Chain A
Amino acid sequence: MLLSPYATTGERIRITLLWLWCGLVILFLLVPILIPVPLSFNSGAFFIFPLEGLSTRWYEVVLGTQRWQSAIGNSLVIALGTTLIATTLGTLTAIALSDEKFPGRRIVMPLLLSPLIVPVVITAVGSYLFYARVGLASTYAGIILAHTALASPFVVVTVGASLTGFDRNLMRAAAISGARPLTAFFKVMLPLILPGVLSGAAFAFVTSFDEVVVVQFLASASQRTMPLEMFIGLREKLSPAITAAATLMMALSIVLLVVANILSRRGRRVPNR
């Protein structure tokens, strides 16, 4: 497609240069995220290649010491809480917004997306100020609440996308057949939009699991999450344990987001069949 059948020399040179440039850009994209992986298996305490030897000692540090264990636990509690609330409320809102007659749709949508636009430090500092007054600072509830604001836009968007092809007549058919609204929702609508809902849930989980700025302002010392431990570690002393933590976090978010994307693609395809 790039090269015409009767390519001139000039064209060949241009295409070769394009490939060369793009190869370098791909290296620039991939090398930095792959580098922590081999380093995390290094038996030495330094970040220098060649590796001294293979070992899992840094994974033992991350998975075996109390400090990191409690951080992983906190991360999971907060991310699961956020996922639960953001997915439930986000799905309801997406269903409401998919109705074209929803009043003020054009105002509500940008408002819902605004947590993605507002610089996160402003969100974090504002939450810290307000939550301290109402007794939510340094509580799991406070962090989950703040994370829900950041995560719910993803749910609204993915569920909304899977609803664009949903035929509302199915709900009418269910009603005519005698189904109550809740039954119709669980038996007819939810199974059809489930891929979108699960995909939104995965996005919400990753958003919360990776978040560090809000946590930095809202969490007490006993509520430190995995990213916050990493952030603090990077500021204080660079230890290879961080590369192990980074590898684990990267693996988790990549797996979840691959699943989320496959699901959301499938979710968008179903109604068109």
Chain B
Amino acid sequence: MSALQPSELDRPTLARDRSAADAELISVSAALRRAEFGDRLRSLLLATPLLVLLALSFGIPIVLLLSRAAYDPTIADALPKTAAALSGWSGQGLPGDDAFAALAADLKDNQVKGTAYELAKSLNARLPGARSQILKTVRRLEKADGQAALDALKSAPFWSAPPTWTAIQSGTKSFTSFYLLSALDLRWDADGGIERVPPEQAIFIQVFLRTFFVAASVTLATLILGFPLAYLIANVPKGLAAILIVAVLLPFWTSILVRTAAWTVLLQKFGLVNDFLLLIGVTSDRLDLMYSRIGLIIAMTHIQLPFTLLPIYSVMRTIPPSQMKAAYSLGARPFTAFRRIYIPQVFPGVMAGCLLTFILCLGYYITPALIGGASDQLISNFIANYVNVELNWEMAAALSFILLVFTLALFGIFARILGLDRLKLV
């Protein structure tokens, strides 16, 4: 008994200690987790005000706008009786007298409620010419009742044409793909398939192509102008590089509007650009640069140049010049060394700069509005025009939706292959 090994004595004690220690450890880690949970909660609370504000001032407005592209209850709300009467209609030929009567009643209601103009405008988007017809009919129905109203409708050529009724029927469906299809110059054909709209009505594909063309031209121009300058800045002594960088940053820090204003002054018929072209003898006559495609591309190139240049420069700065020297000493000709050593390394910077410029160009609004001519308006200008002039929110929403899809898709590519960090300029 006396020979109890200390170790044997210790063992249970040790085990007890360990379990106590374990329990303590668990309680410590629980406390830590609680504390971290508190930290996390506090972080979340700190971020909440801005996130809520952004949701209200930015998120909801955009979702609301985009929803207008596919949800338009104007016609359904204005013509409830007609909608009910047409619900069982096959869409072939003309509907029955009950539909005519319902429409007459609905139109009279609209006249009383003062919503006739809104209905006319909305139907006009689907059926060109409907606006004046509806307003005319509404006025005529004021004096007619019952059978007289029905006759008035049935005798009007507009209301006895089958396309009118197909348009009304499709309009009474609140969820619609009409505007999104229109934004791509497409429509439903009579058999329920999708077809291109006739060439004389097609406009938007051309506008999207124009936007892409301008964006691509500007991207290419900024690359041609910016790449050599980025290379120079990355390879001259520090002091000179700082001066050159300021020359890039000064225009970068000036607002787009101010730079666009400067270009409207420069591009005038008797402006400096024309003076310069005459002086060096490129042209013998003064050119109309304002309200032209070339003027627009020049101004946009000026505005976007720093966006393309800065990411390229930030990559070039990290490439040691000794690499090129090593390539030369191994026998590479300058062009080979440039192509095989330099280009592959600056490629991510070139991609970042060009993608950024291309994405930003897709959304240009101010510069085309002020410098572009009627045939140089980009997609953003059409969106603004549908809101300001045509008051057609649905079409503006559909075009916004498609522009946003392109922008976000390109931005997704950007973030995927280059990472969000590349967005930081300077």
Partner of B250, one of A10, A33, A112, A115: A33
Residues of chain B within 8 A (CB-CB) of A1 are: 235-237, 321
Residues of chain B within 8 A (CB-CB) of A4 are: 325
Residues of chain A within 8 A (CB-CB) of B423 are: 113, 116
Residues of chain A within 8 A (CB-CB) of B64 are: 126, 129-130
* Given A10-B334, A125-B396, A126-B62, CB of A152 within 8 Å of CB of B50: yes
New A-B pairs, 8, CB < 8 Å, besides A32-B259, A116-B423, A121-B383: A89-B49, A90-B50, A108-B51, A112-B54, A125-B387, A126-B61, A238-B268, A258-B253
- Bound-state Cα–Cα, A254 to B258, Å: 12
Q: Does B400 contact A (CB under 8 A)?
A: yes
Q: A120 to B363, Cβ gap below 8 A?
A: yes
* Given A2-B235, A10-B334, CB of A92 within 8 Å of CB of B49: yes
Interface-facing stretch out of A51-59, A62-70, A143-151: A143-151
What residues of chain A have their CB less than 8 Å away from a CB belonging to chain B? 1-2, 4, 10-11, 14, 18-19, 21-22, 25-26, 28-33, 35-36, 39, 47-49, 85, 89-90, 92-93, 95-97, 99, 101-103, 108-131, 145-146, 148-149, 152, 156-157, 206, 210, 212-213, 217, 227, 230-231, 234-235, 238, 242-243, 246, 249-250, 253-254, 257-258, 261
- Bound-state Cα–Cα, A67 to B106, Å: 48
Q: B262 to A234, Cβ gap below 8 A?
A: no
Residues of chain A within 8 A (CB-CB) of B36 are: 101
Q: Does B359 contact A (CB under 8 A)?
A: yes
* Given A2-B235, A2-B236, A33-B254, CB of A122 within 8 Å of CB of B265: no
Residues of chain A within 8 A (CB-CB) of B44 are: 96, 102-103
Nearest CB of chain B from residue A125's CB, rounded to whole Å: 5
Partner of A33, one of B54, B251, B321, B363: B251
Residues of chain B within 8 A (CB-CB) of A217 are: 384, 387
| B residues 146-185 touching A (CB-CB < 8 Å) | none
Residues of chain B within 8 A (CB-CB) of A253 are: 253-255, 258
* Given A47-B271, A102-B47, A103-B44, CB of A117 within 8 Å of CB of B257: no
Residues of chain A within 8 A (CB-CB) of B257 are: 210, 212, 227, 230-231, 249
Q: A32 to B251, Cβ gap below 8 A?
A: yes
Nearest CB of chain A from residue B61's CB, rounded to whole Å: 3
Q: A129 to B302, Cβ gap below 8 A?
A: no
What residues of chain B have their CB less than 8 Å away from a CB belonging to chain A? 36, 39-40, 42-47, 49-51, 53-54, 56-58, 60-62, 64-66, 68, 225-226, 228-229, 231-232, 235-237, 244, 247-251, 253-266, 268, 270-272, 275, 302, 305-306, 321, 325, 334, 359, 362-363, 365-366, 369-370, 380, 383-384, 387, 393, 396, 400, 403-404, 407-408, 411, 415, 420, 423-424, 426
* Given A246-B261, A253-B255, CB of A115 within 8 Å of CB of B54: yes
Partner of A234, one of B66, B264, B396, B408: B264
Q: A148 to B47, Cβ gap below 8 A?
A: no
- Bound-state Cα–Cα, A31 to B393, Å: 41
Q: B363 to A29, Cβ gap below 8 A?
A: no
Q: A148 to B325, Cβ gap below 8 A?
A: no
- Bound-state Cα–Cα, A97 to B50, Å: 12
Residues of chain A within 8 A (CB-CB) of B57 are: 127, 145-146, 148-149
* Given A21-B228, A29-B251, A250-B254, CB of A127 within 8 Å of CB of B302: no
Nearest CB of chain B from residue A106's CB, rounded to whole Å: 9
Nearest CB of chain A from residue B265's CB, rounded to whole Å: 5
Residues of chain A within 8 A (CB-CB) of B264 are: 234, 238
Q: B53 to A148, Cβ gap below 8 A?
A: yes
Q: B384 to A35, Cβ gap below 8 A?
A: no
- Bound-state Cα–Cα, A39 to B268, Å: 14
* Given A97-B47, A146-B57, CB of A118 within 8 Å of CB of B407: yes
Partner of B266, one of A32, A108, A109: A32
Residues of chain A within 8 A (CB-CB) of B251 are: 29-30, 32-33
Nearest CB of chain B from residue A204's CB, rounded to whole Å: 12
Residues of chain B within 8 A (CB-CB) of A130 are: 60-61, 64-65
Q: A25 to B366, Cβ gap below 8 A?
A: no
- Bound-state Cα–Cα, A80 to B380, Å: 28
Instruction: Indicate the member of A1, A119, A227 with the most B CB atoms within 10 Å.
Output: A119
Nearest CB of chain A from residue B216's CB, rounded to whole Å: 17
Q: A157 to B366, Cβ gap below 8 A?
A: no
Nearest CB of chain A from residue B271's CB, rounded to whole Å: 7
- Bound-state Cα–Cα, A206 to B257, Å: 13
Q: B359 to A26, Cβ gap below 8 A?
A: no
Q: A102 to B40, Cβ gap below 8 A?
A: yes
Closest to B261 in A: A246
Q: A35 to B262, Cβ gap below 8 A?
A: yes
Residues of chain A within 8 A (CB-CB) of B56 are: 145
Residues of chain B within 8 A (CB-CB) of A114 are: 58
Residues of chain A within 8 A (CB-CB) of B408 are: 117
Residues of chain A within 8 A (CB-CB) of B265 are: 35-36, 39, 47, 238, 243
- Bound-state Cα–Cα, A96 to B47, Å: 6
Residues of chain B within 8 A (CB-CB) of A95 are: 43, 46
Partner of B259, one of A33, A49, A108, A118: A33
- Bound-state Cα–Cα, A253 to B249, Å: 12
* Given A110-B415, A115-B58, A234-B261, CB of A254 within 8 Å of CB of B228: no
Residues of chain B within 8 A (CB-CB) of A33 are: 250-251, 254, 258-259, 262
Residues of chain A within 8 A (CB-CB) of B40 are: 99, 101-103
Q: A25 to B43, Cβ gap below 8 A?
A: no
